[in-house]
Amino acid sequence: MAEHSIVTRTQVGRRPGRYVLRAVVTAYLFLLVAWPLYLVARNAFADGFTSLNDILTDPDVTHALRLTVVIAVTAVVINTVFGVGISILLVRYDFPGKRTLNALLDVPLSVSPIVVGLALVLVYGGREGWFGPTLESAGLQIIFATPGMVMATVFVALPLVIREVVPILQEVGDEQEQAARSLGANAVQTFRRITLPAIKWGVIYGVVLSLARSLGEFGAVKVVSGNVLGETRTATLVVEEKYLNFDKGGSYATAFLLALVAVACIIVVSVLRPKEDR
């Protein structure tokens, strides 16, 4: 991957056009992303730390934050195990329908979060869902409960780990794994000692991306959660609810917390990534 990072400067030259392009791009990104983002931070601190303090002492909000973290972490764990497993199957093994599966794994990227929610309600809804009533009579409530919210979150973040790990697995090839096998390592030892270290950074990026996506999921969770105060309300739902109830300070403060985590995730990835290139 090292070659990818070589900056080719040939055609840039020293022409005025370069400065025009640079200015256009910078202005575009400034107006679309940087300035609005800054304003959220400023609005969050419009009254000093009052808003932030208020939301962090509001038990409903802290419950929502905790719930968000629990759901996101659970979803990330599931997607990491599934993602690494399916990546290895896709790259190292051959089976009928592999191409179709590969294409289907991208589907969650193109499905509206609201449709995701709807789809889960149709199958797991307690009253009319395909499996919902059966599961509910067995004591397992999915929709309007944490399992449904985890499923919705897993759905929307599903391809992220796979898309990071598959290219790396292809890049490293299988010779190292074969060498390990010929030196006496069994499947588990080969995975732990050879495969995992090789795909480590891909897995870490995938996990960070999935975490950012999972913490911020809104639409799908909104549909399946029922948005019950103090029970199934997540942080993103708090942002909406507070804004619509004219508690803009609280809304901006919560949004600021979420944005902070998201930006931190991006920075972590951008700091980590060059290490792999070295």
Name the minimum Å distance from CB 55 to other proteins: 14
Closer residue to other proteins, CB minimum distance, 101 or 228? 101
Count the neighbouring beta carbons within 10 Å of the beta carbon of residue 64: 25
- Residues 33 to 72: which contact other proteins by CB under 8 A? 33-37, 39-40, 43
Residue 81 CA, distance from chain mean position = 14
CA 24 to chain centre: 30
According to CB under 8 A, which residues from 198 to 257 bind other proteins? 198, 209, 212-213, 215-219, 222-223, 235-237, 239-240, 243-244, 251-252, 255
List CB contacts of 265: < 8 A, sequence separation 6 or more: 208, 209, 211, 212
Closest Cα partner for 171 from 277, 97, 268, 26? 277
Of 15-23, 48-56, 57-65, 133-141, the window that binds other proteins (rule: CB under 8 A) is 15-23
Is 138 among the residues that bind other proteins (CB under 8 A)?
no
With respect to other proteins, which residue has the nearer C-beta, 59 or 94? 94
User: Toward other proteins, which CB reaches closer, 187 or 229?
Assistant: 187
Distance CA(19)–CA(24), nearest Å, equals 9
Cα angle 212-214-215, degrees, rounded to a multiple of 5: 70
Residues 140-199 that bind other proteins (CB under 8 A): 151, 154-155, 158-160, 163, 166-167, 170, 172, 175-176, 178-187, 189, 193-194, 197-198
